[in-house]
Structure formats: C-alpha cells, structure tokens
Amino acid sequence: MHRFAAALAARADATSALVSQENGMPIGLSTAFNGAAPAGLLQMYAELIKVLPLEEVRPSQPGSTIVRREPVGVVGAIAPWNYPQVLAMMKIAPALAAGCMIVLKPSPETALDSYVMGDAAQEAGLLPGVLNIVLGGREAGASLVSHPNVDKIAFTGSTASGRIIGAECGRLIRRVTLELGGKSAAIFLDDGDVDTFIAGLGMASFMNNSQTCTTQSRILVARSRYDEVVDAVAQYTRDQVIGNPLDPSVTIGPMASEQHLQRVLGYIGIARNSNARLVSGGGRPAGQDRGRPARTAAGSSSPPCSPTSTTPTGSPARKWSGRSRR
C-alpha cells in the first residue's frame, strides 16, 4: 500500500491536471483532492493496519466474546465524476487494508484518470485481480451490484441511484455503503455577520464549481436581513473568475458535461418562470460560446417556490442557487 501511495504521489501533478480537463475542477482544488489525497488515504490505512488488532476478546455477560476482523471478500466500488480520484480511493484503501479484492467502476465522464490508478497499482506490485477497473455506464454498474460473486457495494452518487442500489442489496442481503447527493440549506439569522458569511461562501456553496454533494445550494435568510444578503451573494457571484480550470486564477471552471450544463440551465429556466428572481448570471459568459461554461447564478424568492429548492440536482448541483427568505 505504501508503494501504491508512492506511485500515485509521483503522478500527482499530471493526475490533477487530467481530472481538471475531464470535469472542470479548478486546478488548485484538484491538486489537493485528486493529487495529494489518494496517496494520503493509502498511507493512513496502511498505518492503521499496524495498530488495529485482527482479533480481540471483549467481556460479555456470559463471559467473553471474540471479535475477529476478516475480509468481506470482493468489493464493488462505484465512484462519481465530481471528485473521481479521492472518492474512488475512499473505497479502495480501506478494502485493501482489510484484505479485500476490489472492482472499481468509475464514472464514464471521468474514465481516463482511472487508467492512472491502474498504472500506479501495477507499478506498486499489486497482484493481478486485487484491483480491477471496469469502464461502462449504468448497465455495468447494475451488473456489478447484482453480481453473485460480489460481497459488498460501496457507492457514491445520486439519491435516485442509491435507492435502486440499496433495494437490490437488500434483496440480496448484501453489505452496502451509500454516500448520496443532497439539497443542503444554509440558514442566515438576524444576528449573522455578512462578511463572515461571504468569507465562507466559496467553500460552502461554490467549491468545485458547486459540484459537491455537501453544497449549500439554498440560503434561508431572516426577513430583516434579506436584501442585504441577496445583494452580497449576487456581488460574490459577479466577482468569480470563470475560465480554463488549469489557470490558477480561475475560481469557476466549465461544467462537467454538456448534459449537465443543459440540466442546470433548465432548472434556472423553471425558477425564472416561477416567482423567483434571478439577480446574477444564469447563462453562458460573454465571449465563451465554446465548451461548457456557465455564469455563476444567484436568485431569490419569497417564499421558497422553485423545484430547485427541494429537488437534488444530483451529486452535484452546479450553478443555480435558489436564495429564499423566511
């Protein structure tokens, strides 16, 4: 595992740039999550093996109980496109530490960087069959989930897909771990400090172009502070630098796919046709007709009304943030 980590670390710069080209992640963030984090996770779990007992005796009412840690078997790991390297390794590293075999199915949108992981595994000397990478879409994922030789599924992705996977694993009495998308809301109270709020907005709502499962894509604001907060958020979005994700000065890169761009623009259209008010952005930036750029959007409504207020736009929701007041 340490050799695997070293092989990934040696490729960190190239891998970070590759992922940014795949999904539009700003290069600074990609360097941390796709370059450094996977190797760090491998090292952490490799060290954990040294201190975690494989067997221990615990006291129980009848006398004592032996707790034995054994490999589950074959782990099917399904990773998304927003943080492909680190979210894949969050499944691979603990499985390797436990002595399991892994079948990784990356997202089709970020399939190229999985080859980097495969090359690093080979260089590190992982035995054939320990880490297997299968490329494909939903059909490949469904086959992996229901395959009779798979003992556990680890999935990160949309809530809709997670429901299907959870139901199938329940039918098969198969272990499953689900990390799903959400539609998180931030709450700004009467005594909130706008400067502090804006200072944290990048991490809370716009990290990785808002393509993060923890994105706070709604902000519920106390009526007495409503206009002030809407103006501050609108100005924050106008100040963002949209462009090539490999440029360190860029804060918002392109959308991960044309399909996702059209999906989010569709949500913005739905909101504009309701009683929401678009106060910033919401379309392609001027002079950027090629590729998948979108102007960072902020809107407001009172009361919350748009489908974007309650429906997860997937893992993740990208540019539209429905700003609502209570």
**Which amino acids are annotated catalytic?**
179, 213
| HEC letters along the chain | CHHHHHHHHHCHHHHHHHHHHHHCCCHHHHHHHHHHHHHHHHHHHHHHHHHCCCEEEEEECCEEEEEECCCCCEEEEECCCCCHHHHHHHHHHHHHHCCCEEEEECCHHHCHHHHHHHHHHHHHCCCCCCEEECCCCHHHHHHHHHCCCCCEEEEEECHHHHHHHHHHHHHHCCEEEEEECCCEEEEECCCCCHHHHHHHHHHHHCHHHHCCCCCEEEEEECHHHHHHHHHHHHHHHHCCCECCCCCCCCCECCCCCHHHHHHHHHHHHHHHCCCCEEEECCCCCCCCCCCCCCCCCEEEECCCCCHHHCCCCCCCCCCCCEEEEC
